[in-house]
Amino acid sequence: MISRTKIETRESSGFRNFAIIFGVVAALYLAREILIPLAFAVTLSMILAPFVGVLQKLRLGRVPSALLVVVIATASLAGVSWVIFNQLISVAIELPAYRENINKKLDAINVDLRRQMASDVSERRYGLVERSASARA
């Protein structure tokens, strides 16, 4: 016969839970200078690992495969960075032309807003004049 024993559970206090959460958050905050690069390295290794595996299946050693993948990834990142940098430079060069175009559009919007506000004000005044005239009559 199996005897059933009652499992005792301890109730944890709210202060203890708060202290544990505070301690964990404080430890993570203080270790962020180590944990952020570590997390980036782990993520990058998980992204590049399948490519290293493919090169290993092609009978290339582990070290040459890893080096080749890192070189290709670095060159790709450098190429994308170069393209983005060149596009930013071209936007900076053409910025005065964009500024003139933006100013023209903002002026057009301001004129439309002024017209709209003037018509709203005149409608309110006209409505007030009509109400006061009908109240007098």
Divide the 137 residues of the chain into consecutive groups of 10 and give the mean pLDDT of each group.
Answer: 59 84 94 94 95 95 95 97 97 84 85 78 64 59
User: Looking at the 3D structure of the chain, how many domains does it have?
Assistant: 2
* Residue-range definition of the domain harbouring residue 101: 94-137
Q: What local confidence, expressed as pLDDT, does residue 14 receive?
A: 85
Q: What are the tokens at 97?
A: 């032309």
Q: What local confidence, expressed as pLDDT, does residue 57 receive?
A: 95
Q: What local confidence, expressed as pLDDT, does residue 47 receive?
A: 95
Q: What local confidence, expressed as pLDDT, does residue 11 receive?
A: 64
Residue 43, judged by CB atoms within 10 A of its CB (0-12, 13-18, 19+), counts as exposed
Q: What are the tokens at 68?
A: 């080749």
Answer yes or no: do 98 and 75 share one domain. Answer: no
pTM of the predicted model as reported, rounded to 2 decimal places? 0.53
Answer yes or no: do 81 and 108 share one domain. Answer: no
Helix (H, G, I), strand (E, B) or coil at 112: helix
Answer yes or no: do 18 and 40 share one domain. Answer: yes
Beta-carbon contacts of 69 under 8 Å, excluding residues fewer than 6 positions away, are 48, 51, 52, 55
Residue 4 lies in a domain: no
Residue 6 lies in a domain: no
